[in-house]
Amino acid sequence: MATTIYESRIITLLDESELYVTPLKIKYLRRFMDDFEEVKKASNDVESIYQLLVCVFHMMPQYRPEVKTLEDVEDLVSLPMIYEILEVAAGVKMAKNSTEEPVSKKAENSESSWDTFDLAKLESEAFLLGIWKDFEELETCLSMPELTAVLSAKREDSYEEKKFLAAIQGVDIEKNKNDTNAWEEMKARVFSGGKAENGNDILAFQGANASKAGFGIGLGLAYEDLG
pLDDT in tens, 2-55: 678 888 999 999 999 999 999 999 999 999 988 988 988 888 989 999 999 999
Boundary of a domain, candidates 49, 68, 103? 103
Measured in whole angstroms, how far is the alpha carbon of residue 203 from the centre of its chain?
11
**Exposed, middle or buried, 4 (CB in 10 Å: 0-12/13-18/19+)?**
exposed
Q: Across the chain, what does the average pLDDT equal? A: 76
Same domain, 78 and 154: no
Residue 206, beta-bridge partner list = 217
Instruction: Please answer whether residues 226 and 94 qualify as being in contact, where contact means their C-beta atoms are separated by less than 8 angstroms.
Output: no
Domain that holds residue 162: 119-213
Same domain, 85 and 145: no
pLDDT tens digits for range 47-102: 999 999 999 999 999 999 999 999 999 999 999 999 999 999 998 887 655 444 44
Using pLDDT thresholds of 50, 70 and 90, give the confidence band for residue 178.
low
- Mention every residue, 6+ apart, whose C-beta is less than 8 A from residue 218: 6, 91, 144, 145, 148, 206, 207, 210
Same domain, 95 and 126: no
Same domain, 15 and 98: yes
pLDDT of residue 27: 94
Boundary of a domain, candidates 103, 135, 170? 103
pLDDT of residue 51: 93
pLDDT tens digits for range 136-174: 999 999 999 999 889 988 888 888 888 888 888 887 777
Domain count, the chain: 2
pLDDT of residue 171: 78
pTM of the model: 0.66
The DSSP code for 65 is T
Measured in whole angstroms, how far is the alpha carbon of residue 64 from the centre of its chain?
20
pLDDT of residue 126: 92
The DSSP code for 199 is T
Boundary of a domain, candidates 103, 131, 146? 103
